Amino acid sequence: MTYTRSEENCLKAIFTITEQGEHGGSTTAIAAQLRTKASSVTEMVKRLSEKGLVDHKPYHGVLLTEPGNRIATRVIRRHRLWETFLVNHLNFRWDEVHDLAEQLEHIDSDELHDRLDKFMDHPKFDPHGDPIPDKDGRMIDMAGALPLAEVPKDTLVHIVGVKDSSPAFLKLLDGLGLKLGTQLTVNRRFEYDNSVEVSSRFRNGLLLNEQVSRNLTVKPL
Amino acid sequence: MTYTRSEENCLKAIFTITEQGEHGGSTTAIAAQLRTKASSVTEMVKRLSEKGLVDHKPYHGVLLTEPGNRIATRVIRRHRLWETFLVNHLNFRWDEVHDLAEQLEHIDSDELHDRLDKFMDHPKFDPHGDPIPDKDGRMIDMAGALPLAEVPKDTLVHIVGVKDSSPAFLKLLDGLGLKLGTQLTVNRRFEYDNSVEVSSRFRNGLLLNEQVSRNLTVKPL
DNA sequence: GATATAATTTAGCTATACCTAAATATGGGT
DNA sequence: ACCCATATTTAGGTATAGCTAAATTATATC
Ligand SMILES: [Mn+2]
Ligand SMILES: [Mn+2]
Ligand SMILES: [Mn+2]
Ligand SMILES: [Mn+2]
């Protein structure tokens, strides 16, 4: 079986939405994720449903079936493998690779991606800290990781991921000297705007707004 | 400007056909190359013509304009770079890479392909002996190369390319121990069926039929 | 110069994948 | 139990990219 780019993107969107807690992706949420319109999603979901890749209870959301989940996971695997390749071997920056991976993830070949995986020695994480599924769809689970926004004061943590892979966000982090592995402690939180003040080995009293602290994933050490 | 997969494939087909001597690709020849129908080509050519990528004189063939030629060359560059990467770095065999490259060649990014080129240290030939255009479209010209079928008796030559990249043909060559660089001499030619008998360092009296000798490109030493 | 053959184009149809605007259904709150 | 804001679907349209079958056109041969 081979699926179209749009089908794969739709399955991936549903995966991402349902993974983030939602109990079934709404037509609207999927449309937002795909930057398309709800009516287009209705049609796409109908087709995916006929192919047995999703379960759709109108007004109650779309869920991936087991085959649908397998395909979505495979697309995510490919995306993350390519991002890793582009950064580690072609010397792209972490803020440059997402859009390229959006194209490359649709190349139709398990063999290619398994060889790419092997070539890189089976990397476990992509440049943004996201776990890379192995060929059976298994990946390291991120238990213990949480948004910086939810870290208690005076806890030593290190950055393990970013929720937002947009160039703008990643460039901001670069500009602040924050990257995967950077160790941080929350010194103060301001109720006024939910901003947090953090310190690292290199920098003291760095003020991060709520948007930033929500999009930084960290893990206590 | 960004072009669709079908547009790129059509331009590439016209390039290949006109390169092989034809004075303008006929609708039928293009259709055969693309494994599509003449009527589909008519429509495609109309669109390419409106975009200024081809000149079409009905019943006298389609020719690439300078912009059309640039795009076709770029697609060929990408195809050959990917084939080289797949063979040299992911350990694919030379008979496995063509179809994958047909997909990868449409990834829309000069930056990616220039970096891939650099990563491989600017290879000059792909795994089938075809010259790889550089980022300005220039490539080594194959003057002096000719089909084995046209080599005079007792001339020492070596294999520099294959005209046919199909898995079937390449597997046949593998099976006969013939590969790029192999040195050959034509011992005898048989008028009956245009077959030739060749010798290499490893093998004496190997009989090759016309189809094979036409698809093997060699160069005198 | 007429004509037949083969190449080419046109007409009309299908499928995917988008869109906007209009219609409709639902579930939470009253 | 009802209503309505909102989510969702339907209707109808566009563009790309195929297809088959029918019509048309040019060229090469007689
Ligand atoms: Mn990404
Ligand atoms: Mn990523
Ligand atoms: Mn090839
Ligand atoms: Mn090749």
Whether chain B has a CB inside 8 Å of the CB on A89: the answer is yes
Which residue bears the tokens 């013939």?
B178
B-contacting residues in A 68-87 (Cβ below 8 Å): 86
Cα–Cα distance for residue pair B6/B30, rounded to 1 Å: 12
Say whether A109 and B90 touch across the interface (CB within 8 A): no
Q: Are B159 and B216 in contact (CB under 8 A)?
A: yes
> Is any atom of strand D within 7 angstroms of residue B88's beta carbon?
no
pLDDT at B15: 96
Domain B146-220 has CATH 2.30.30.90: yes
The Å distance, Cα A105 to ligand 1 centre, comes to 10
Q: Which of residues 13-52 of A touch strand D (CB under 7 A)?
A: 26-29, 38-39, 41-43, 45-46
Phi, psi for residue A26 in degrees, rounded to 5 = -80, 150
Strand-pairing partners, residue A186, are: A198
Task: Dump pLDDT digits (tens) for A121-130.
Answer: 999 999 999 9
pLDDT at A214: 95
How does residue A205 score in pLDDT terms, banded at 50, 70 and 90? Answer: very high
Cα–Cα distance for residue pair A115/A109, rounded to 1 Å: 10
Mutate one of B3, B82, B85, B103 to test the A interface: name it (highest A CB count within 10 A): B103
pLDDT at A21 over 80: no
Q: Are A59 and A46 in contact (CB under 8 A)?
A: no
pLDDT at A1: 85
pLDDT at B1: 85
Strand-pairing partners, residue A183, are: A158
Whether chain B has a CB inside 8 Å of the CB on A109: the answer is yes
pLDDT at A58: 83
* Cβ neighbours for A136, distance < 8 A, ≥ 6 positions apart: none
Residue pairs spanning A and B at CB distance below 8 A: 30
Q: Which nucleotides of C are covered by protein (CB under 7 A)?
A: 7-12, 16-22, 25-27
Ligand nearest to the CA of B130: 4
pLDDT tens-place values along chain B, 221 residues long: 899 999 999 999 999 999 887 788 899 999 999 999 999 999 999 999 999 999 998 888 999 999 999 999 999 999 999 999 999 999 999 999 999 999 999 999 999 999 999 999 999 999 999 999 999 999 999 999 999 999 999 999 999 999 999 999 999 999 999 999 999 999 999 999 999 999 999 899 999 999 999 999 999 99
Cα–Cα distance for residue pair A99/A81, rounded to 1 Å: 13
DSSP state of A33: H
What is chain A's mean pLDDT, rounded?
95
pTM of the predicted structure, to 2 decimals = 0.94
Q: Is A152 helix (H, G, I), strand (E, B) or coil?
A: coil
A155-182 average pLDDT score: 96
Where, residue-wise, is CATH 2.30.30.90 in chain A? Answer: 146-220
Query: Which residue of chain B is at minimal alpha-carbon distance from A120?
Result: B90
Task: Dump pLDDT digits (tens) for A172-200.
Answer: 999 999 999 999 999 999 999 999 999 99
Task: Dump pLDDT digits (tens) for A65-124.
Answer: 999 999 999 999 999 999 999 999 999 999 999 999 999 999 999 999 999 999 999 999
Whether chain B has a CB inside 8 Å of the CB on A108: the answer is yes
Cα–Cα distance for residue pair A101/A105, rounded to 1 Å: 6
Whether chain A has a CB inside 8 Å of the CB on B166: the answer is no
Assigned CATH topology for domain B5-64: Arc Repressor Mutant, subunit A (1.10.10)
Cα–Cα distance for residue pair A175/A153, rounded to 1 Å: 24
What is chain B's mean pLDDT, rounded?
95
**Four-point Cα dihedral B38, B42, B44, B45, nearest 10:** 120
Whether chain A has a CB inside 8 Å of the CB on B17: the answer is no
The Å distance, Cα A77 to ligand 2 centre, comes to 10
Task: Look at chain A and count its residues.
Answer: 221
Where, residue-wise, is CATH 1.10.10.10 in chain A? Answer: 5-64, 77-139
Q: Are A37 and A101 in contact (CB under 8 A)?
A: no
Cα–Cα distance for residue pair B133/A54, rounded to 1 Å: 45
Whether chain A has a CB inside 8 Å of the CB on B2: the answer is no
Cα–Cα distance for residue pair B144/A185, rounded to 1 Å: 69
Query: Which residue of B89, B91, B112 is in closest CB contact with A100?
Result: B112
Q: Shortest CA–C1' contact from A36: which nucleotide?
A: C18
Extract the tokens encoding A146: 């949480």
Phi, psi for residue A133 in degrees, rounded to 5 = -60, 140
Q: Are A81 and A110 in contact (CB under 8 A)?
A: no
Task: Dump pLDDT digits (tens) for B47-75.
Answer: 999 999 999 988 889 999 999 999 999 99
**Distance measured from the CA of protein residue A130 to the C1' of nucleotide C12, in angstroms:** 50
Assigned CATH topology for domain A77-139: Arc Repressor Mutant, subunit A (1.10.10)
